[in-house]
Amino acid sequence: MCGRNTFIWHKYDFYIHFKCNSKKSGHSIKVPTVHPNFYKKKFPPFARASFKRFRFAPNVILYALTLYFEASCSLRQIQRLLKKQMFIRVSHVSIYRWIRHFASFFKTVSHFFLQKANLQSDEWHVDETYIKVKGQKHSLWILFDSETRVVIAFCLSSVRDSNTALALFEKSHNITDASPLTIITDGLDAYNMPIVLAYPKSKHHRYSCFADDCSNNVLESFNKTFKAWYKTKKGFHSFDSAVDMISNFLFYYNFIHSHSSLSEQAPACVAGVTYSQEQADHWFLF
């Protein structure tokens, strides 16, 4: 270094940013203050989903789920289709409750299987995309494995800061012990320190443009798929409902949806997760 004294430029929750007094050198040092307690949680085998207090048969609810996620239908479109094709009268509010009811179940299934997945890949990608919650812009942060196309973790936040980036990596550590060779991000500075703390052995590559050999094009492809589904929802009415619905979509994307780029397999299957086609067809519900 230049030998000049340093001063505190900014204090963050888990590190302090120092700068030197030299205007010419402009040295910058970031020192961790609290090292996050990363660990992998063990998830027990999941039980069957409960259909208690539902007035309709499980196959009707499964059909509604398929229309909502596979066909990207709106709730009112599903309401009309159930009436025309199955002669079932049900409100769009009830359909919304069906879909959200299984959020905790799908999270349990997803965590149980993803902890068995082989996610030790060359590249992981991180990116953010904007969605609206109660009319306000929020950032949806996605951690994505380029080889298997598995969405490892996500975080929804109203800000784009290092705390959110660290929370995203805490979630990934909660699911898998895997560590990629390279983590690819855009130029957002908020990624720098969290990657150093969470994945010290991984190289952090910040791509400069889409022509870069290590760009986020593969994750941009996922974002297009997500946005095609999201557009029919016209935003979310609450933060909790947004988290539940996004979590359900990612469960569908990882375990149910077949990808042409993966020889018509789901990403979880490519990652070595074993489950039957019948389980996938029934969304693990019955």
The CATH number for 92's domain is 3.30.420.10
Residues 16 and 124 in one domain: no
> What's the confidence (pLDDT) of residue 40?
64
The pTM (predicted TM-score) of the whole model is 0.87
Residues 25 and 167 in one domain: no
Residues 9 and 98 in one domain: no
Measured between alpha carbons, how far is 137 from 21 in angstroms, rounded to an integer? 38
Residues 8 and 127 in one domain: no
Residues 19 and 123 in one domain: no
Residues 105 and 119 in one domain: yes
> What's the confidence (pLDDT) of residue 213?
58
Q: What are 248-267's pLDDT values in tens digits?
A: 999 999 999 999 889 999 99
Q: Which residue numbers in the chain have pLDDT < 50?
A: none
> What's the confidence (pLDDT) of residue 162?
92
> What's the confidence (pLDDT) of residue 24?
66
> What's the confidence (pLDDT) of residue 250?
98
Residues 94 and 80 in one domain: yes
> What's the confidence (pLDDT) of residue 61?
95
Boundaries of domain holding 213:
39-286
Residues 24 and 160 in one domain: no
> What's the confidence (pLDDT) of residue 248?
97
Residues 47 and 27 in one domain: no
Residue in this structure with the two tokens 């022509």, named with its chain if needed: 211
Residues 234 and 277 in one domain: yes
- Counted domains in the chain: 2
DSSP labels, the chain: -----EEEEEE-SSEEEEEES-TTT--EEEEESS------PPPPPPPPPP-TT-SS-HHHHHHHHHHHHTS---HHHHHHHHHHHH-----HHHHHHHHHHTHHHHHHHHHHHHTTS----SEEEEEEEEEEETTEEEEEEEEEETTT--EEEEEEESS-SHHHHHHHHHHHHHH-----SEEEE-S-GGGHHHHHHH-TTSEEEE--STTSTT-SHHHHHHHHHHHHHHGGGTSBSSHHHHHHHHHHHHHIIIII--BGGGTTB-HHHHTT----HHHHHTTT--
Whole-Å CA distances, 161 to 11, 152, 190: 13, 20, 5
Residues 29 and 148 in one domain: no
